[in-house]
């Protein structure tokens, strides 16, 4: 990045070349630069291609996480110019000319200028160049976005299916934020053990959705696939596979703690293995499996979802790492819609789909009347639906339980969308904010706390209202909400829809500390919508939740006991 920005500024060509060469040497160097700096920063100068200037900046970057020189340049040049450099074929010189001549500093500005015919008039550009730029803008724009984990999972499974047919592969695993089950994924990391890296990379490049090859070396290949998701493949030796899997799974913060603990034990740990240090001499200790790597550190193998340097090392020291919830632990789903409002399946169809998935009970929770866009239920329509539920429950004769529910709107002025005499007749009353999401933090918090204080409300659905990559959470005091949930014996929802995953994993960890039961719900609007429960389970695991922390791993009788009924 520094070399690109300097070239953008028109800096000394020799200095730019030195930084580019240094970056290339570092990228291809077999040992971890971080580890070298931790042990002896001066030894960087012994690496061919790294001079004093590059070495000094490596030390600053490792120790502080940033380069002051980059920040200084970005005070003069908008940070958005870096997006221009993501366009295939768009070098710093062309980007600098666009900025100097036309004031273009962002992708949307460049697209407008291209479409207006202004860029084609610049020296060194032309109709074909403009056509290439317009195609590249879509790739660059998509490269800035992280995709839902659920979408990345579809792609990852397809790639693995393709790679399994390569006879040269001995072992293959996915790493990175995908393996940690983060709610969004920026790229995919694939690790492979093989004695024939060239054949593996040839096979990888033949995957039918590969749009372009970003780079290929002796053991690493990066491609861009449909929707511009980058996928990095690394071929590693068998003795380093576990170490590489641990390293590239991350997170960065988790690995920093791990390296610090290793140093205290006279060890060095990197993507190549765990090594015993004796002066300048290092002896390989472990690295073939993650179990070996962590055992060498006298640590358990942390579930990937917990590797965020939050509490996992404390839990390890106390021998209290949570036994995380699994998808098969769920026995009920307590939030779904039907054709009575905006759903795509009837009451009977949702029941059949839930039974087919092995669930023991569901709650039918169509939205209330205030949600007019969904043709929400007024009191009469709701009571009529509940009578249908009673009839169907009689036919089921205890083999499956349908709960009479409603997703009741919390009004902008406070209070519930339906009267208490109606809500009191239901089994499962959800309260949620659908409107007035731009109100002040105090207003929204008061509305939610007021709902929790209503004796007929059992749970708050999607408590922060966020839509990932589309809408930020509304302003709400979650500590006050959790305190109100505790005081009133109420529950909080983890909405499993990949676009929501609300609550956030940090909030889930806080709820566990407060001992607030969580309900993982699908919020299904169709039969297939029930399948998203698995994404909620992954989010719950990132929050450190066990089956005991989640209410709908228990029978409905047990939930009623939790509610004090």
Same domain, yes or no, for 337 and 389? yes
Task: Identify the domain boundary among 124, 143, 162.
Answer: 143
- CATH of residue 100's domain is 1.10.150.20
Residue-level pLDDT at 541: 98
Same domain, yes or no, for 403 and 482? yes
Q: What is the pLDDT of residues 163-184, one digit of tens each?
A: 999 999 999 999 999 999 999 9
Same domain, yes or no, for 201 and 253? no
| Residue 384, pLDDT above cutoff 90 | yes
* Structural domain that includes position 202: 147-236
Task: Identify the domain boundary among 211, 236, 261.
Answer: 236
Lowest pLDDT segment from 76-80, 129-133, 160-164, 525-529: 76-80
Q: What is the pLDDT of residues 498-531, one digit of tens each?
A: 999 999 999 999 999 999 999 999 999 999 999 9
Same domain, yes or no, for 135 and 85? yes
- CATH of residue 292's domain is 3.30.210.10
| Residue 143, pLDDT above cutoff 60 | no
Lowest pLDDT segment from 55-64, 154-163, 363-372, 537-546: 55-64
Question: 10 Å Cβ neighbour count for 286?
Answer: 22
**Average pLDDT score over residue span 176-201:** 96
**Average pLDDT score over residue span 258-277:** 95
Same domain, yes or no, for 170 and 106? no
The number of C-alpha atoms within 13 Å of 438 and in the hemisphere containing its C-beta is 1
Same domain, yes or no, for 187 and 334? no
Same domain, yes or no, for 363 and 504? yes
Query: By the 8 A CB rule, do 490 and 514 touch?
Result: no
- CATH of residue 396's domain is 3.20.20.140
Residue-level pLDDT at 165: 93
**What total of structural domains would you count in the chain?**
4
Nearest in space to 456 (alpha carbons), one of 331, 564, 332, 336: 564
Cα 504 off chain centre by = 10
Query: By the 8 A CB rule, do 257 and 309 touch?
Result: yes
The number of C-alpha atoms within 13 Å of 453 and in the hemisphere containing its C-beta is 12
Q: Report how far residue 542's alpha carbon sits from residue 124's, in angstroms, rounded to the nearest whole number.
A: 51
Task: Identify the domain boundary among 300, 318, 336.
Answer: 318
Same domain, yes or no, for 471 and 556? yes
Place of tokens 């042990």: 39
Q: What is the pLDDT of residues 419-466, one digit of tens each?
A: 999 999 999 999 999 999 989 999 999 999 999 999 999 999 999 999
- CATH of residue 184's domain is 3.30.460.10
**Average pLDDT score over residue span 245-259:** 95
| Residue 196, pLDDT above cutoff 80 | yes
Same domain, yes or no, for 467 and 532? yes
Q: How many residues does the chain have?
A: 565
Query: Which residue spans within 420-463 are E strands per DSSP?
Result: 428-432, 459-460
Same domain, yes or no, for 510 and 417? yes
Same domain, yes or no, for 212 and 264? no
Query: By the 8 A CB rule, do 84 and 104 touch?
Result: yes
- What is the value of pTM for the model shown? 0.77
Same domain, yes or no, for 352 and 453? yes
| Residue 83, pLDDT above cutoff 70 | yes
């Amino acid at each position: 990045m520094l070399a690109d920005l300097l070239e953008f500024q028109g800096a000394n060509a020799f200095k730019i070349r030195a930084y580019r060469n240094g970056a290339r040497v570092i990228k291809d160097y077999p040992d971890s630069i971080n580890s070298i700096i931790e042990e002896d920063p001066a030894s960087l100068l012994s690496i061919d291609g790294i001079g004093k200037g590059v070495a000094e900046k490596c030390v600053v970057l490792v120790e502080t996480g940033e380069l002051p020189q980059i920040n200084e340049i970005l005070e003069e040049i908008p940070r958005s110019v870096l997006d221009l450099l993501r366009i295939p074929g768009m070098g710093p010189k062309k980007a600098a000319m666009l900025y100097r001549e036309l004031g273009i500093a962002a992708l949307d500005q460049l697209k407008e200028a291209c479409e207006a015919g202004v860029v084609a008039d610049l020296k060194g550009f032309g109709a074909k160049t403009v056509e290439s730029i317009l195609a590249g803008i879509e790739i660059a724009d998509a490269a800035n976005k992280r995709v839902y984990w659920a979408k990345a999972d579809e792609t990852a499974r397809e790639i693995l299916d393709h790679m399994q047919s390569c006879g040269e592969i001995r072992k293959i695993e996915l790493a990175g934020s995908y393996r940690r089950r983060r709610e969004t994924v920026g790229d995919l990391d694939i690790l492979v053990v093989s004695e024939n890296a060239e054949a593996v990379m040839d096979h990888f490049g033949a995957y039918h959705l590969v749009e372009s090859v970003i780079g290929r070396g002796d053991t690493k290949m990066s491609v861009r696939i449909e929707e511009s998701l980058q996928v990095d493949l690394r071929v590693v030796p068998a003795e380093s596979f576990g170490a590489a899997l641990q390293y590239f799974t991350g997170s960065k913060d988790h690995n920093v703690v791990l390296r610090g603990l290793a140093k205290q034990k006279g060890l060095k740990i990197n993507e190549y293995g765990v090594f015993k240090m004796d002066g300048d001499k290092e002896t390989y200790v472990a690295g073939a499996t993650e179990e070996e790597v962590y055992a060498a550190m006298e640590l358990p193998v942390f579930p990937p979802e917990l590797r965020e340097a939050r509490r996992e090392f404390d839990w390890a020291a106390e021998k209290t790492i949570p036994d995380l919830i699994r998808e098969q632990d769920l026995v009920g789903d307590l939030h779904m819609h039907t054709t009575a409002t905006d759903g795509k399946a009837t009451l009977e169809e949702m029941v059949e789909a839930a039974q087919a998935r092995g669930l023991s009970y569901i709650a039918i929770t169509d939205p209330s009347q205030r949600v007019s866009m969904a043709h929400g239920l007024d009191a009469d329509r709701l009571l009529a639906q509940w009578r249908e539920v009673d009839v169907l429950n009689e036919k089921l004769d205890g083999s499956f339980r349908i709960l009479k529910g409603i997703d009741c709107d919390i009004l902008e002025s406070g209070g519930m969308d339906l009267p208490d005499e109606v809500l009191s007749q239901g089994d499962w009353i959800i309260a949620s904010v659908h409107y007035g999401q731009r109100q002040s933090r105090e207003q929204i918090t008061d509305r939610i706390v007021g709902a929790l204080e209503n004796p007929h409300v059992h749970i708050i659905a999607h408590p922060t209202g966020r839509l990932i990559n589309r809408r930020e959470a509304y302003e709400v005091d979650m500590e006050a909400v959790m305190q109100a949930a505790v005081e009133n014996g109420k529950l909080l929802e983890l909405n499993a829809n990949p676009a929501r995953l609300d609550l956030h994993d940090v909030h889930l960890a806080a709820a566990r500390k407060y001992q607030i039961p969580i309900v993982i719900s699908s919020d299904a609007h169709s039969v297939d919508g029930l399948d998203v429960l698995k994404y909620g389970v992954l989010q719950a695991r990132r929050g450190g939740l066990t089956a005991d922390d989640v209410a709908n791993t228990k029978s409905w009788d047990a939930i009623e006991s939790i509610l004090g009924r």
